[in-house]
Amino acid sequence: MSSDPLARVRTAAAEQGLDIELRERPPAASLPEAAALLGIEPRDIVKTLVVKRHDDTYLFALVPGDRAISWPKLRAVVGVNKLRLPQPELALAATGYERGTIVPIGSTTDWPVYADSSIVGQRIAMGAGAHGYSLFVDADALIDAYSATVADITQPLE
């Protein structure tokens, strides 16, 4: 597996038959700033959150930028009563990507994917595996490629 995260993303996308667009952008201090740089709304950026289960396995939660994980909803869908966000070094070890760049595409382990139902039918931007880049993909194609579970797993940001 390539140590270049962008090459890893491109290769994995091709293997999955996903049509992606990688776009370079200046560094952003926040998700709203990244959205402004890309000329899109915060809801069009989907955060890939690595979530740790109690048994030391992980899952990916795909959350629109204008929403947050609803822990009760996600626990109910996954069928467990304990989930948490891991420390950055554990997220890196679990995916091969640094926090802020994480994407299921090209992850060093294919963890199960849970996608918020609000992204269905959208063209979304997400992390691209490397800082300073965003990846654009059709959400439905991503959901199909990774056999994602689609459910209401979010709540409005506080």
pLDDT in tens, 1-27: 567 999 999 999 999 999 999 999 998
Three-state DSSP at 3 gives: coil
Both tokens assigned to 116: 């918020």
Cα(100)–Cα(33) distance, integer angstroms: 13
Residue environment code for 81-109, b if the CB has 16+ CB neighbours within 10 A, otherwise e = eebeebeeeebbebbbbbbebbbbbbbee
Both tokens assigned to 139: 């959400």
154-156 and 123-127 beta bridge pairing: unpaired
pLDDT of residue 50: 97
pLDDT, tens digit, 9 for 90 and up, residues 112-139: 999 999 999 999 999 999 999 999 999 9
- pTM of the predicted protein model: 0.95
Q: What is the mean pLDDT of residues 97-108?
A: 94
pLDDT of residue 14: 97
Burial class (CB in 10 A: 0-12, 13-18, 19+), 123: middle
Give the DSSP H/E element, type plus range, for residue 72: helix 71-78
Domain-wise residue ranges, the chain? 5-156
- Residue 144 clears pLDDT 60, i.e. is over it: yes
Residue environment code for 34-66, b if the CB has 16+ CB neighbours within 10 A, otherwise e = bbeebebebebbbbbbbbbeeeeebbbbbbbbb
Q: Are residues 21 and 9 in contact, defined by beta-carbon separation less than 8 angstroms? A: no
Q: What is the CATH code for 5-156? A: 3.90.960.10
Q: Are residues 50 and 96 in contact, defined by beta-carbon separation less than 8 angstroms? A: no
